[in-house]
């Protein structure tokens, strides 16, 4: 661009010079030549006029001829010039003065003819007009920037001036006339004219004349006429005589006129030739300038094309490199670097060959590439160090959590021992069960730490688990499990490898639902098959949550958030754990507002995690887990269940303790599904082979704990006296290690998910088709249920997770998830007949699907097992429950206010 601009400016300047020269040449040819002829004509007329004033007789015809020649030259001049057409303002002013002088010419001629006026003023008029013409030639080419032309212009101007001096000499000699007398001033003018013309020729003309013109001048100077001129000039200067009348010229002046007629035309020809040569040279110079402009433009265009080609090639190369750098940078920033960071965070190997390397290139693009490579290297090194530190801290946290989990497992075992030892003390047993439940919650938080730290929890499951059992297991993890209502609408099982993870995920959601809902409200968890897999919905009646908060929480659940999010919201640990578990399972968890105004959590487990429930050969298929007793089918209203406590609504007759009439009227009716016993029934009136042992009750009406080391229905190998007679360390005929279901310190599991003869132990999955525990019952022993030691057996417990979950150190595995024991599935049992407090007849025997009722009607009358209910909560328990609810509600409100900010 700069080269183009410079070329244009230079070309424009040269074109301006060429234009000026062209204008000067045109002006010289159009005005200069006519003006030079006019100058010669006026010089001749001036000489005749001077002779006339000097007394020399001039023929009238000669004077008229001279004046006609002058008028003709003046007419030609006026045709060649009009005001404003000269090359410059100064030249135009000179020509205007010449034109005005020509206008006064006739007046001075009349003075000459009439003899009026003064000779000096008339001759001065002619000399003034001729002087303006000479100054025009001096200004004509003076503005050109060409040194040679300026020099030639000065030579031409000097020649015109020198010829004017010679013409003035001719005029002065003619004015002297026949008398040869000059005034002193006029003689002085002659002396000045001689000196000036000699100086101009010798100094400004001859040295600068070209060879041809110099030869012409030399020829003229060597001619006899010029020699005569020079001799007369010398004589006048040296031989004049001063008299009273003036200066008397020598007689040699009489030969001046004849000599002037010879050298006069030669001098005019020399001046014309020199002027013509000047114009020709100016025209040639203009042509040269135009040629230079053409070459300059052509060279500039060629240079511009070359520069453009070089720039295009260079720019193309740079652009290609920049494009490659851009593509590589975008690929690294959007794909490679995130993949490297993800691999570093997950502990996988990293391919460093895919990262940019420092090449050490010296140009700008190379330096940018090296700088980007260094930035990527620093970023990768930082993430590698951060991942190593995180992995180290995770291993440390996992180790601490594993050790703490072992301690918690030992604490649970100790609590179990205390429950066995002090089961006869109802108040103490209630507190021990409370401590047991809190310890289970503590273990779940330790499992959260193991999950988040990258460790794993040993998983004892080897067989799929029914969804009904899985719901019971998840509910058992929650402190306020009595409020949870479970509904398994379809029969399906969960893969053994993910049972612990699914159970932990549901337990976290159930715990959240019970914490942030009123203490006397219920939390419903229902499972059913849908198009995408298995849907598990947890619905509470907690406080209202803003839609924006749901959207923000669902965003964290759909994709497991990074640990930086946990650092910003550490109080939302449950959602963080649920998000990670759901991400590992490929499940989706969605929070939304329920129809009751609370929150509904919908978990969709993919079909890959589901397996059909298998039926045991020769057994009876599982019945619906939501069977109910129609009230009209038994002739009485459904049994009622209290909100809290663990006492049944109607005591068994064998206990001899009728129910309190005051409690029977004000207790809320249990509206959940009532279980239907689905186990096989012996038609012989007694228990068939494999039938469960009838449940025994204490005097207080509580179920008697089954003896350790045997399954329900198995004969007790020893009597109470034999067991009581043994030391504490060998009760039940076995050491404590074996009595607790362990051999060599390891837990022993039983079919049906029972450990040591009661629900809540470390499970092995019961084969499908076995009789299951009614789904409508509250899990296990209710909070506050009094124990019994009748017959040396312990009462049934609330469902509890495995006590030995942390028996072994954690090892990495996939998928991760907390262990969840399958709760015991109790078979249907016959109980002794019982009457209500009002002396009403006992309920009709339960109808068992696919069995006959004849044996039950003909045999001894038995009453079904009374539905367990809870005693009324104490004021302290109600206050604690409301305090927990208010604290949870306040926490939700604080979170909503934080989100609104």
Q: What is the pLDDT of residues 742-770, one digit of tens each?
A: 333 333 333 333 333 333 333 333 333 33
Residue 493 β-bridge partners: 466, 611
Q: Among residues 826, 805, 785, which one has the least CA distance to residue 446? A: 805
- What does the alpha-carbon distance between residue 238 and residue 814 come to, in Å, rounded to a whole number? 138
Give the pLDDT confidence score for residue 618 in this predicted structure: 41
Least confident range of 14-28, 368-382, 789-803, 865-879: 789-803
First to last CA, the chain: 57
Give the pLDDT confidence score for residue 659 in this predicted structure: 36
- What does the alpha-carbon distance between residue 677 and residue 468 come to, in Å, rounded to a whole number? 15
Q: Among residues 579, 602, 600, 464, which one has the least CA distance to residue 527? A: 602
- pTM here is 0.41
Of 313-317, 642-646, 858-862, where does the model show the most confidence?
313-317
Stretch 238-249: mean pLDDT: 88
Does residue 474 or residue 855 have the better pLDDT?
Answer: 474
Stretch 127-136: mean pLDDT: 90
Residue 836, preceding peptide bond in cis (omega within 30° of 0): no
Residues 6+ apart with CB under 8 A from 50: 119, 123, 171, 172, 174, 175
Determine whether 276 is exposed, middle or buried from the number of CB atoms within 10 Å of its CB (0-12, 13-18, 19+). middle
The secondary structure element, H or E, covering residue 590 is strand 588-593
Give the pLDDT confidence score for residue 570 in this predicted structure: 60
Determine whether 700 is exposed, middle or buried from the number of CB atoms within 10 Å of its CB (0-12, 13-18, 19+). middle
Stretch 168-188: mean pLDDT: 92
Residue 44 has pLDDT above 90, yes or no: yes
- What does the alpha-carbon distance between residue 483 and residue 540 come to, in Å, rounded to a whole number? 10
Residue 571 has pLDDT above 50, yes or no: yes
Q: Among residues 115, 153, 119, which one has the least CA distance to residue 137? A: 153
Does residue 33 or residue 689 have the better pLDDT?
Answer: 33
Give the pLDDT confidence score for residue 447 in this predicted structure: 83
pLDDT digits (tens, 9 = 90+) for 536-549: 999 999 998 999 99
Q: In this structure, are strands 523-530 and 484-488 parallel, antiparallel, or unpaired?
A: parallel
Rounded to 10 degrees, the C-alpha dihedral 284/287/293/294 comes to -130
pLDDT digits (tens, 9 = 90+) for 72-101: 999 999 998 888 777 778 888 888 999 999
φ/ψ of 818, rounded to 5, equals -70, 150
- Tokens describing residue 742: 């362990």
Q: How many CB atoms lie within 10 A of CB 100?
A: 11
Give the pLDDT confidence score for residue 680 in this predicted structure: 36
Residue reference for tokens 């260094």:
374
pLDDT band at 877 (very low <50, low <70, confident <90, very high): low
Residue 436 has pLDDT above 60, yes or no: yes
Residues 6+ apart with CB under 8 A from 295: none
- Tokens describing residue 131: 């002087």
Does residue 704 or residue 529 have the better pLDDT?
Answer: 529
Stretch 402-420: mean pLDDT: 87
pLDDT band at 826 (very low <50, low <70, confident <90, very high): very low
- What does the alpha-carbon distance between residue 274 and residue 267 come to, in Å, rounded to a whole number? 11
Stretch 622-631: mean pLDDT: 36
Give the pLDDT confidence score for residue 900 in this predicted structure: 64
- What does the alpha-carbon distance between residue 235 and residue 238 come to, in Å, rounded to a whole number? 5
Does residue 269 or residue 895 have the better pLDDT?
Answer: 269
- What is the three-class DSSP state of 338? helix
Stretch 435-456: mean pLDDT: 81
Residues in the chain: 901
Stretch 270-290: mean pLDDT: 86
DSSP string, 15-63: HHHHHHHHHHHHHIIIIIHHHHHHHHHHHHHHHHHHHHHHT----HHHH
Q: What percent of the chain has pLDDT over 70?
A: 65
Give the pLDDT confidence score for residue 743 in this predicted structure: 35
Q: Among residues 645, 640, 541, 538, which one has the least CA distance to residue 590? A: 538
Give the pLDDT confidence score for residue 683 in this predicted structure: 32
Q: Are 279 and 25 spatial neighbours (Cβ–Cβ below 8 Å)?
A: yes
Q: What is the 3-state secondary structure (H, E, C) of 459-498?
A: CCCCCCEEHHHHHHHHHHCCCCHHHEEEEECCCCEECHHH
pLDDT band at 369 (very low <50, low <70, confident <90, very high): confident
Does residue 822 or residue 68 have the better pLDDT?
Answer: 68
- What does the alpha-carbon distance between residue 459 and residue 451 come to, in Å, rounded to a whole number? 13
CA distance readout (Å), 246 to 237, 470, 722, 730: 14, 156, 188, 179
Give the pLDDT confidence score for residue 148 in this predicted structure: 79
CA distance readout (Å), 612 to 34, 465, 775: 127, 10, 19
Stretch 895-901: mean pLDDT: 66
- Tokens describing residue 381: 């090194």
Does residue 622 or residue 320 have the better pLDDT?
Answer: 320
Residue 713 has pLDDT above 50, yes or no: no
Q: How many CB atoms lie within 10 A of CB 71?
A: 16
- What does the alpha-carbon distance between residue 238 and residue 127 come to, in Å, rounded to a whole number? 26
- What does the alpha-carbon distance between residue 52 and residue 176 come to, in Å, rounded to a whole number? 10
CA distance readout (Å), 421 to 415, 698, 808: 10, 16, 28
pLDDT digits (tens, 9 = 90+) for 448-472: 888 877 777 666 788 999 999 999 9
Residue 476 has pLDDT above 70, yes or no: yes
Residue 759 β-bridge partners: 754
Residue 124 has pLDDT above 80, yes or no: yes
Give the pLDDT confidence score for residue 712 in this predicted structure: 38
- What does the alpha-carbon distance between residue 125 and residue 74 come to, in Å, rounded to a whole number? 15
Residue 687 has pLDDT above 50, yes or no: no
Stretch 414-429: mean pLDDT: 88
Give, in degrees to the nearest 5, the angle at Cα 680 between 676 and 683: 120
Q: At what angle do helices 105-114 and 33-54 cross, to 10 degrees?
A: 20
Residues 6+ apart with CB under 8 A from 629: 638, 674, 676, 846
Stretch 679-708: mean pLDDT: 39
Residue 866 has pLDDT above 80, yes or no: no
Does residue 6 or residue 267 have the better pLDDT?
Answer: 267
Stretch 728-732: mean pLDDT: 38
Residues 6+ apart with CB under 8 A from 7: 296, 297, 299, 300, 303, 304
Give the pLDDT confidence score for residue 626 in this predicted structure: 36
Residue reference for tokens 């207790």:
667
Does residue 892 or residue 843 have the better pLDDT?
Answer: 892
- Where do the domains of the chain lie, and which CATH numbers do they carry? 2-301 (no CATH), 407-886 (3.30.565.10)
What DSSP character marks residue 458?
-
Give the pLDDT confidence score for residue 572 in this predicted structure: 66
Q: Is 327 left (phi over 0), alpha (psi -120 to 50) or beta?
A: alpha
- What does the alpha-carbon distance between residue 347 and residue 390 come to, in Å, rounded to a whole number? 10
Give the pLDDT confidence score for residue 540 in this predicted structure: 94
Cα Rg of the chain (Å, integer): 66
Residue 628 has pLDDT above 70, yes or no: no
Q: Are 831 and 814 spatial neighbours (Cβ–Cβ below 8 Å)?
A: no
pLDDT band at 301 (very low <50, low <70, confident <90, very high): confident
pLDDT band at 583 (very low <50, low <70, confident <90, very high): confident
Q: Are 214 and 206 spatial neighbours (Cβ–Cβ below 8 Å)?
A: yes
Residue 830 has pLDDT above 70, yes or no: no
Average pLDDT value over all residues in the chain: 72
Least confident range of 1-15, 413-427, 574-588: 1-15
Helices first, then strands: H and E counts in the chain: 25, 17
pLDDT band at 679 (very low <50, low <70, confident <90, very high): very low
- What does the alpha-carbon distance between residue 483 and residue 643 come to, in Å, rounded to a whole number? 8
Q: What is the 3-state secondary structure (H, E, C) of 529-588?
A: EECCEEEEEEECCCCCCCHHHHHHHHHHHHCCCCHHHHHHCHHHHHHHHHHHHHHHHCCE
Residue 669 has pLDDT above 50, yes or no: no
DSSP string, 80-111: H--TT-SSSHHHHHHHHHHHHHHHTHHHHHHH
Q: Among residues 335, 312, 323, 338, which one has the least CA distance to residue 368? A: 323
Least confident range of 422-431, 447-456, 490-499, 564-573: 564-573
């Amino acid at each position: 661009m700069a080269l183009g601009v410079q070329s244009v400016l230079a070309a424009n300047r040269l074109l301006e010079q060429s234009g000026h020269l062209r204008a000067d040449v045109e002006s010289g040819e159009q005005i200069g030549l006519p003006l030079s002829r006019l100058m010669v004509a006026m010089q001749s007329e001036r000489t005749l006029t001077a002779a006339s004033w000097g007394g020399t007789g001039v023929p009238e015809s000669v004077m008229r001829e001279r004046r006609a020649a002058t008028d003709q030259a003046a007419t030609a001049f006026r045709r060649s010039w009009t005001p404003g057409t000269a090359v410059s303002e100064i030249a135009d002013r000179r020509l205007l003065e010449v034109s005005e002088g020509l206008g006064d010419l006739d007046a001075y001629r009349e003075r000459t003819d009439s003899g009026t006026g003064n000779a000096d003023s008339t001759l001065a008029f002619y000399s003034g007009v001729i002087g303006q013409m000479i100054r025009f030639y001096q200004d004509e080419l003076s503005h050109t920037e060409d040194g040679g032309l300026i020099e030639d212009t000065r030579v031409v101007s000097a020649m015109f001036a020198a010829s004017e001096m010679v013409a003035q000499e001719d005029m002065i000699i003619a004015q002297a006339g026949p008398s040869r007398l000059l005034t002193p001033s006029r003689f002085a003018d002659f002396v000045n004219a001689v000196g000036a013309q000699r100086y101009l020729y010798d100094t400004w003309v001859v040295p600068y004349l070209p060879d041809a013109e110099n030869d012409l001048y030399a020829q003229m100077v060597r001619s006899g006429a010029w020699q005569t001129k020079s001799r007369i000039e010398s004589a006048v200067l040296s031989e004049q005589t001063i008299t009273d009348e003036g200066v008397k010229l020598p007689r040699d002046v009489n030969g001046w006129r004849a000599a002037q007629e010879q050298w006069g035309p030669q001098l005019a020809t020399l001046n014309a030739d020199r002027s013509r040569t000047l114009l020709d040279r100016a025209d040639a110079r203009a042509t040269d300038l135009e040629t230079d402009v053409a070459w300059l433009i052509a060279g500039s265009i060629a240079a511009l094309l070359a520069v453009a080609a070089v720039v295009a090639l260079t720019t193309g190369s740079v652009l290609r490199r920049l494009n490659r750098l851009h593509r590589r940078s975008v690929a690294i920033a959007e794909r490679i670097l995130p993949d490297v960071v993800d691999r570093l965070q997950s502990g996988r190997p990293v391919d460093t060959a895919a990262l940019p390397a420092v090449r050490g290139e010296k140009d700008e693009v190379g330096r940018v590439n090296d700088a980007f490579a260094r930035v990527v290297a620093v970023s990768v090194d930082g993430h590698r160090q951060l991942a190593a530190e995180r992995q180290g801290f995770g291993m440390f946290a996992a180790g601490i959590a594993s050790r703490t989990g072992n301690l918690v497992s030992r604490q649970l075992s100790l609590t179990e021992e205390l429950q066995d030892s002090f089961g006869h003390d109802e108040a103490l047993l209630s507190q021990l069960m409370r401590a047991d439940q809190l310890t289970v919650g503590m273990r779940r938080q330790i499992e959260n730490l193991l999950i988040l730290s990258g460790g794993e929890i040993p998983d004892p499951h080897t067989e799929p688990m029914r969804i009904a059992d899985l719901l019971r297991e998840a509910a058992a993890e929650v402190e306020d499990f009595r409020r949870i209502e479970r509904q398994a609408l379809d029969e399906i099982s969960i893969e053994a490898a993910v049972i612990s993870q699914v159970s932990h995920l549901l337990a976290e959601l159930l715990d959240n639902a019970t914490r942030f809902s009123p203490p006397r409200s219920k939390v419903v968890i229902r499972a059913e098959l849908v198009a995408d897999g298995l849907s598990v919905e947890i619905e509470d009646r907690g406080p209202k949550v803003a839609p924006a908060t749901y959207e923000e929480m669902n965003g964290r659940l759909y994709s497991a958030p990074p640990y930086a999010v946990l650092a910003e919201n550490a109080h939302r640990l449950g959602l963080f754990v649920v998000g990670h578990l759901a991400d590992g399972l490929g499940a989706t968890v969605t929070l939304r507002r329920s129809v009751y105004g609370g929150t509904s959590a919908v978990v969709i487990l993919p079909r890959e995690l589901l397996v059909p429930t298998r039926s045991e050969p020769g057994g009876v298929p599982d019945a619906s887990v939501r069977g109910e007793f129609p009230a009209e089918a038994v002739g009485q209203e459904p049994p009622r269940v209290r909100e809290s406590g663990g006492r049944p609504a109607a005591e068994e007759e064998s206990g001899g303790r009728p129910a309190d009439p005051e409690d029977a009227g004000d207790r809320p009716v249990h509206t959940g599904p009532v279980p239907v016993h689905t186990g096989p029934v012996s038609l012989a009136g007694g228990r068939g082979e494999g039938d469960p042992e009838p449940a025994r009750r204490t005097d207080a009406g509580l179920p008697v704990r089954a003896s350790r080391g045997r399954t329900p229905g198995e004969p007790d190998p020893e009597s109470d006296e034999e067991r009581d007679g043994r030391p504490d360390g060998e009760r039940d005929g076995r050491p404590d290690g074996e009595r607790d279901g362990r051999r060599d310190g390891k837990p022993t599991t039983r079919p049906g998910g029972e450990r040591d003869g009661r629900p809540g132990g470390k499970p092995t999955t019961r084969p499908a088709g076995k009789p299951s525990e009614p789904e409508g019952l509250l899990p296990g022993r209710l909070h506050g249920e009094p124990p019994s030691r009748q017959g040396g057996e312990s009462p049934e417990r609330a469902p509890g997770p495995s006590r030995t979950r942390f028996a072994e150190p954690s090892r990495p595995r996939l998928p991760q998830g907390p262990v969840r024991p399958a709760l015991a599935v109790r078979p249907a049992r016959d109980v002794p007949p019982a009457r209500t407090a009002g002396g009403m007849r006992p309920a009709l025997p339960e109808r068992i699907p696919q069995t006959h009722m004849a044996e039950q009607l003909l045999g001894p009358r038995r009453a079904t097992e009374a539905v367990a209910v809870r005693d009324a909560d104490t004021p302290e328990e109600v206050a604690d429950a409301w305090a927990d609810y208010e604290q949870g509600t306040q926490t939700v409100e604080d979170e909503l206010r934080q989100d609104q900010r």
